[in-house]
């Protein structure tokens, strides 16, 4: 039971009750005995969590607040702020279970473990306030750690909440490093990072609050590490160029005022042991801006820059950019460079690799699997041999001397040879694939339809107790009500404490809207969803997954605004509605929805093959590879 000082917002009430925020507003208007605000503002009031629980329970809308929600409400309503509350929670969890944590936080620790409880609370905070943390997405962090390789001592000089340090691999490639060092200019984030790493265990944690570029004389600075992983702030103008003009770290040239990222690159190199590896997430402009060409040239000449890898847009914030990975190695005079006397640079364009890989029925495979394979195969081959066989349009290892022109433009798309010419044989294969796809689409054309009977009693159906209290209308039950009644499990993606990993029969719902809801097939199961998706796991004894996905795709999209000053909004998944139908009737609808999904997939595949055939035929005629007649 929460204490009398714990407060909760209207959004928190909606989350606890499994309804939309608009429903909470409706309760306030229609029920005079709804708890009165105890704090906040006129436009953002807060309520006593104890009073809200009592009110919801009295109306059968709440059996008990789950420990994770009650723990989060206490964190969110702490008078000292969320970050201070998270720090206190992390410190308490470090002593659990030797000194058991009382209340809902302790229950959450018993359920998920101390690290899992902390990860859940921190993840909820980052979901709510993502901008200040600049968190690197877990998949990108894992890729960077895999490229860097195992390390006993690892450093992140701009660590945020510690995601890159947590992803680092230990000396055997599986265990964690023995020492994790970090710098973070925000003291609150530095403490949160240190606590998260300490809760993982078996690693000496040294996270310091400060600016790693400016605080060069700090008594506890760290050098000689095996690996540096870093997602530096992009586009800083006031990074300290004037006062650091004679700093010994600028071995490769003083970066321009607009090239703060190249300052971070040289800082990372200066902290490595000879032969150590640094992997930095960089903005794409850093590879081609003329103001940085001298530093890039010096990095190439001395063999410090080993690879530039383009990732897809959305791989990290800001999500509108297609970021690059720069892989660097501190020169080691006693270690020969792989590949002989002619130094080379690995360039990989992984931003479009996903276009080629498909499942048997034409659906795209998960991007991250193909992306990791493309990047890691190319890097490991290059690191071993000093070159790669290369793939037109994807990877190559051009000689450094060929890159040292006036611009020193290292953008992978400009350094790679164009994709090979399409010959007549390839066009014939594409034509055959298109023919098969069109035949499949024609085979799956929906049969003629008959009018549905008038809506009425047939729409009544046995759903779980507590679900669909609002009557027998066709749109009679919300996703939130189904979740509270046990008919399905609703889980957001990107939750580090309890990852949303798909199983066959799950329904995946993009966070931008239900228009692309789909059922997970057996060959596509096992995907860990990111924060841009929701996972719905229907109970097959109550709900047919194809029925759920089909009706969600046609559902109206209830939205909640992101903020008073913002014009953006996001869908409220819990408020999406489904008709109340018996299971057999659901399955009848589900069979037709499944047929429509197969037809849609076949049409999409045929359209993509048709576009490919048109494009390649035109290019082949222009190149003179095929005769126009």
pLDDT given at position 466: 39
Q: How far apart are CA 161 and CA 190, in angstroms?
A: 7
Averages of pLDDT over each 10 residues, the chain, 629 residues: 70 78 86 91 86 86 73 83 90 88 88 88 77 74 94 94 91 83 92 92 90 76 92 90 92 94 96 96 94 96 96 78 93 65 89 49 51 91 91 89 93 80 78 90 80 51 41 63 82 64 86 73 77 84 91 63 41 81 91 89 88 83 77
Give residue-wise pLDDT tens across range 208-246: 999 999 887 665 678 899 999 999 999 888 898 999 999
Q: Report whether 374 contacts 353 (CB < 8 A).
A: yes
d(CA 10, CA 23): 10
The residues facing 45 across adjacent strands are 40
DSSP string for 5-44:
T-EEEHHHHHHHHTS-HHHHHHHHHH-TTSPPP-EE-SSS
Question: Hey, what's the torsion of the CAs at 370, 374, 375, 378, to 10 degrees?
Answer: 160
Burial of 374-412, coded b for 16+ CB within 10 Å and e otherwise, reads bbeebbebbbeebbbebbebbbbbbebeebeeeebbbbb
* Residues near 176 by beta carbon (within 8 Å), at least 6 away in sequence: 168, 169, 170, 200, 202, 203
Rounded Cα–Cα distance for residues 264 and 129 (Å): 25
Cβ pair 292, 305 in contact under 8 A: no
pLDDT of residue 383: 94
The 10 Å CB-count burial string (b at 16+, else e) for 566-598 is eeeeebbbbbbbbbbbebebbeebbeebbeebe
pLDDT of residue 192: 93
Structure tokens at 299: 């990095």
Phi-psi bin for 491: left (phi > 0), alpha (psi -120 to 50), beta?
A: beta
pLDDT digits (tens, 9 = 90+) for 541-570: 889 999 999 888 866 555 444 443 333 445
Task: Answer yes or no: are the C-beta atoms of 399 and 347 closer than 8 Å.
Answer: no
pLDDT computed for residue 338 by the predictor: 57
Q: Tens of pLDDT along 290-322?
A: 999 999 999 999 999 999 999 988 787 776 788
Nearest to 330 by CA among 388, 385, 379, 267: 267
For 455, half-sphere exposure in the C-beta direction (CA atoms, 13 angstrom radius) is 9
What percent of the chain is predicted at pLDDT more than 70? 82
| Interatomic CA distance for residues 74 and 82, integer angstroms | 9
Cβ contact 427:617 at 8 Å:
yes
- pLDDT given for residue 364 in this prediction: 42
Contacts 24+ apart (CB under 8 A), 456-461: 458/581, 458/585, 459/579, 459/580, 459/581, 460/580, 461/580, 461/581, 461/582, 461/583, 461/585, 461/586
Token pair for residue 85?
């509350």
d(CA 629, CA 279): 52
Six token digits for residue 65: 């607040």
Give me the pLDDT at residue 498, please. 58
Tell me how far apart the alpha carbons of residues 2 and 265 are, in angstroms, rounded to a whole number. 49
Give the H or E element holding residue 121.
helix 114-128
Say if CB 273 and CB 224 are below 8 A apart. yes
pLDDT at site 485: 76
Give the Cα separation of 142 and 149 in Å (integer): 11
Which residues are CB-neighbours of 230 under 8 A, at least 6 positions away?
A: 156, 157, 158, 164, 264, 268, 278, 279, 280, 281
Question: Which H/E stretch holds residue 488?
Answer: strand 488-492
**Closest by Cα among 489, 459, 492, 465 to 578:** 459
d(CA 120, CA 392): 43
pLDDT of residue 306: 97
Q: 257: which residues sit within 8 A by CB, 6+ positions away?
A: 237, 239, 241
d(CA 142, CA 136): 10
pLDDT (0 to 100) of residue 264: 96
């Amino acid at each position: 039971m929460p204490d009398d000082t714990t407060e909760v917002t209207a959004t928190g009430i909606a989350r606890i009750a499994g309804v939309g925020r608009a429903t909470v507003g409706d309760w306030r208007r229609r029920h005079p005995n709804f708890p009165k605000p105890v704090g906040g503002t006129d436009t953002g009031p807060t309520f006593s969590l104890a009073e809200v629980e009592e009110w919801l329970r009295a109306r059968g809308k709440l059996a008990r607040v789950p420990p994770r929600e009650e723990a989060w409400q206490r964190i969110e309503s702490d008078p000292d702020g969320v970050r201070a509350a998270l720090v206190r929670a992390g410190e308490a969890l470090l002593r659990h279970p030797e000194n058991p944590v009382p209340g809902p936080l302790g229950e959450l620790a018993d359920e998920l473990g101390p690290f899992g409880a902390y990860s859940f609370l921190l993840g909820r905070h980052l979901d709510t306030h993502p901008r200040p943390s600049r968190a690197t997405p877990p998949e990108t962090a894992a890729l960077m750690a895999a490229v860097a390789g195992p390390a006993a001592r690892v450093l992140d000089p701009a660590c945020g909440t510690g995601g890159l340090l947590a992803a680092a691999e230990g000396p055997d490639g599986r265990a964690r490093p023995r020492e994790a060092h970090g710098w973070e200019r925000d003291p609150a984030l530095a403490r949160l990072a240190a606590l998260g790493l300490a809760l993982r265990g078996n690693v000496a944690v040294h996270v310091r609050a400060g600016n790693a570029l400016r605080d060069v004389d700090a008594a506890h600075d760290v050098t000689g590490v095996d690996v540096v992983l870093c997602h530096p702030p992009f586009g800083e103008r006031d990074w300290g160029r004037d006062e650091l003009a004679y700093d010994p770290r600028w071995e490769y040239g003083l970066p321009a005022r607009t090239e703060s990222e190249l300052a971070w690159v040289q800082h990372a190199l200066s902290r490595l042991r000879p032969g150590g590896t640094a992997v930095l997430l960089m903005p794409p402009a850093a590879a081609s801006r003329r103001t940085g060409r001298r530093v890039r040239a010096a990095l190439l000449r001395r063999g410090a820059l080993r690879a530039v890898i383009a990732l897809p847009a959305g791989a990290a914030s800001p999500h509108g950019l297609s970021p690059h990975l720069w892989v660097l190695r501190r020169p080691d005079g006693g270690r020969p460079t792989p590949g002989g006397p002619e130094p080379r640079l690995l360039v990989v364009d992984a931003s479009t690799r996903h276009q080629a890989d498909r499942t048997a029925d034409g659906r795209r495979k998960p991007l991250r699997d193909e992306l990791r394979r493309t990047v890691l195969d190319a890097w490991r081959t290059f690191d071993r041999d000093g070159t790669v066989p290369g793939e037109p349009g994807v990877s190559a290892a051009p000689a450094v001397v060929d890159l040292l022109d006036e611009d020193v433009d290292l953008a992978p798309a400009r350094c790679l040879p164009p994709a090979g010419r399409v010959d007549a044989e390839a066009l014939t294969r594409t034509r055959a694939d298109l023919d098969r796809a069109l035949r499949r689409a024609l085979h799956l054309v929906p049969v003629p339809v008959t009018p549905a009977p008038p809506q009425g009693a047939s729409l009544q159906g046995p759903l779980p107790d507590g679900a669909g209290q609002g009557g027998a209308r066709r749109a009679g039950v919300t996703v939130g009500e189904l979740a509270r009644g046990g008919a399905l499990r609703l889980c957001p993606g990107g939750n580090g404490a309890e990852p949303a990993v798909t199983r066959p029969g799950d329904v995946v719902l993009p966070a931008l809207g239900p228009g692309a809801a789909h059922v997970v097939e057996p060959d596509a199961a096992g995907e860990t969803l990111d924060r841009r998706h929701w996972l719905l796991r229907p109970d097959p004894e109550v709900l047919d997954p194809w029925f759920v996905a089909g009706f969600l795709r046609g559902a109206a999209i209830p939205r909640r605004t992101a903020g008073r000053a913002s014009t953006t909004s996001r869908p409220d998944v819990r408020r999406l509605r489904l008709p109340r139908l018996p299971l057999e009737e659901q399955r009848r609808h589900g069979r037709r929805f499944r047929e429509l999904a197969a037809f849609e997939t076949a049409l999409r595949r045929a359209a993509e093959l048709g576009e490919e055939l048109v494009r390649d035929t035109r290019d082949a005629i222009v190149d003179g590879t095929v005769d126009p007649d």
